[in-house]
Amino acid sequence: MRQLIIALVVVALISTGCLVSPSAAGTAASGSKYDATQDARIVALEGIILGPNGLQTLYGAMNNKIAGISDIPSTVVKVSSLETRMATVESKVAIGGSGGGVSQATVDALSARIKTLEDWKATAGSGGSSGPDLANGVLDSDGDIQLILERSEEEEVWVDDNVNQTFRLSVKNNGTSSRYFRINCDFDCEESVAITSATLTPDYSGSGVATPTAIGVSTVTSIPFLVTSTGSSNKIYIGKSREESMFLTLKIDYAGSIAGKRWTWDFSIREVN
């Protein structure tokens, strides 16, 4: 009896349609409007991530650039080293402070010396110098006349007893007419020295010049000479646009047993009308 009742219940259920069978195609029922919205959003996100200019492409390009910077640690070390070296240099050149830099007093003293030299250069005029000009060898000039050192000499020269010391010069006339000139020569010793005599013998290719009067027995620290012509006018001639050689030979006869002394020389030229 119980089996008969169960069979009747099953037949009743099938006949009333309580169970829904799947469709013939075997697919689920159509999605809702909400599902369609979600699908559209998923497609948009896939484009942002996987598109030709998407996040994945940008990430790959950035990763390649980072990989190309292959020596970042070494670069950091070099920059740190440069910073340390720069700090050391700054401490050395800094004015004042505790880094061992140059003091303000030193800077001021150097500035004062430079200013003194600039003032001297501006007011020196056409006087002689103790050595050649490094640019063109001109010892002195006056008007159109220049006195040039043809062969280099030290500012101080050692003059042995009774041994000739020759200076090779040239006189240049840059003017368009002939000129006249004189030459002043001065020799300064490092200390007082006794001499028997001192002579200066000039040799000028342009014309005759007079030998200055010799210095006799005396104790000197300076020996001056004036080089002029052999005539009565006391001036030496040079033609226009000419350059003539001149040799000046100094000879000192020291008194006693002096073997030699060191002398500073100075030559200057004066144009004479």
* H or E stretch at 44: helix 33-50
83 backbone dihedrals φ, ψ, rounded to 5°: -60, -40
Kindly list the structural domains of the chain, giving each domain's residue range(s) and its CATH number in brackets, ordered by start.
138-259+267-272 (2.60.40)
11-16 own/partner pairs: CB under 8 Å, 24+ apart: none
pLDDT band with cut points at 50, 70 and 90 for residue 110: confident
pLDDT band with cut points at 50, 70 and 90 for residue 70: low
Residues 241-272 pLDDT 10s: 999 999 999 999 999 899 999 999 999 999 98
Three-class HEC string of 62-111: HHHHHHHCCCHHHHHHHHHHHHHHHHHHHHHHCCCCCCCCCCHHHHHHHH
pTM over 0.75? The answer is no
Cα(1)–Cα(4) distance, integer angstroms: 5
Stated length of the chain: 273
